[in-house]
Amino acid sequence: MTNTHTYKGIAWLDLESPDDNEIANVVRRYGLHALVGEELKTFTSLAKIDVYDAYVVVVLTLPIREKNGDSYEVNDREVDFVIGKNFLISSHFGAIEQLQYFAKIFEANSILGKDDKVEGASHLFYYMIKRIYTGMYEDLDNIRDALLSAEKRIFRGDEQKMVRTLSNVSRELIDFKQTARVHKDVWDSFTVSGTEHILGAEFAPYVHDLKNEFNRIHELITNCRELLADLRETNDSLLNAKQNQIIKALTIMAFIFQPLVFISALFTIPAINVPIIRSFYGWFGILGSMIILTAIIWTIIRRKRWI
C-alpha cells in the first residue's frame, strides 16, 4: 500500500508492505538504482546509510513495544528511507504507529499551512525521526513506570510474583537496547558520508540534534537497566529472607514435635512392662509430660532468640 503526501513541492511516499509493482513504480518514477529497489522490499535488520548521486538511503531498525497477552514484548521493525532533495520515501512491513501519527500531523499542517519549517525532504526526514524517537521515549517511560509499580509490589510482599515481572521487563530492555544501539553508528556515519550536495550543508546541525536525541534514549535505557538491577537485587534479598524465615519456622516446628513423637512412639511399643500405660491416669500423665516438655523446649528457643 502506497500513501502519498505532498506539501510545498515536497513528496512523501510511505510504502507499507509494498508489492513488486509498487516498488517498480517508485524506482522508475525517481530513477532509483535497482539495488535500492531490492532494499525497499526486503527485510535485512541491518542499519546503514548509502549515498548515491541524487539521494541518500538510510536503513533503521526500530524497537516497537507491543502487548502480548498479559505482558509486553519488543519487536524490531525495519524502516528504509530514501531522501532526495524534494522527495522522501519510507518503506516498512506492517503498520508503525509513529509514522501514522506523523502522517496525520503532516496532512493537518499541509491543509492549515502552519508548518513553515519544512524546507526540503531532509527536514521532513528530521521531524519524522524526532517523532519516532518521541515514541521510543514513551515506550521507555512505560517500562520505567512498570518498574516503579513493581517496586511498590515488592515492598507489599509480592516478591514471588515480581520475579516473573522483572524477568519480562529485563527481556524488554535487552531487546530494546539491542535494536536501538545501531542508531549511533548511523548518525556517526551521516557526518562523514558526504551528503551535503543532496541534503545541504545546513542539515549537519539537525544530524547532531538527532545524535543528541538518541543519546538521551540510550541514557534512559541505561537508567532503566540500573533500576531493574537494583530492584532485582532487592527482590531476591527479600525473597531469600522470607524463604529463610519459612525454613526456620518449619525447622523449629520439627524440633518441637520430634521429642513428642518420640515419647508417643515410646509408649506404643508392644512390650509387657511399658510403664503407666495401663494406669488409670496413664494417658493424662503422657499428655502432661508432652506439655511440660514442649514448654521447656519453647523456653529454650526463646532464650536462645532463635525466633
The pLDDT tens digits for 34-44 are 777 777 777 76
CATH topology of domain 2-241: Beta Polymerase; domain 2 (3.30.460)
Mean pLDDT, range 63-77, rounded to an integer? 79
Query: What was the pLDDT predicted at 45?
Result: 61
pLDDT at 193 over 70: no
Over residues 117-145, mean pLDDT: 81
Strands (E) across the chain are located at 2-7, 10-16, 48-51, 56-68, 71-83, 87-92
Q: Are 9 and 2 in contact (CB under 8 A)?
A: no
Alpha-carbon Rg for the chain, nearest whole angstrom, is 34
pLDDT of residue 180: 79
Q: How far apart are CA 256 and CA 88, in angstroms?
A: 79
The number of beta carbons lying within 10 Å of the beta carbon of residue 133 is 19
| Beta-ladder partners of 64 | 75
Q: Percent of the chain at pLDDT above 70?
A: 90
Grid-cell match 525466633, residue found: 307
Beta bridge partners of 4: 13
pLDDT of 301 higher than 50: yes
Residue 117 confidence (pLDDT): 59
Residue range 268-278: average pLDDT? 75
Summarize the confidence of residues 260-272 as an average pLDDT. Answer: 77
pLDDT band for position 199 (cuts 50, 70, 90): low
Tens digit of each residue's pLDDT (9 = 90 or more) over 201-227: 677 787 788 888 888 888 888 888 888
pLDDT confidence of residue 111: 44
User: What is d(CA 290, CA 295) in angstroms, rounded to the nearest whole number?
Assistant: 9
Cell (9 digits) for 258: 520430634
- Residues 34, 138 contacting (CB under 8 angstroms): no
Are the beta carbons of 28 and 129 closer than 8 angstroms?
no
pLDDT grade for 200, boundaries at 50, 70 and 90: low
Grid coordinates belonging to 228: 531493574
- Whether 176 shows a pLDDT value over 70: the answer reads yes
Angle at 187 between CA 184 and CA 190, to 5 degrees: 150
Instruction: Give percent of the chain with pLDDT exceeding 90.
Output: 0
Residue intervals in the chain for CATH 3.30.460.20: 2-241
Q: How many residues does the chain have?
A: 307
Question: Residue 112: what pLDDT?
Answer: 42
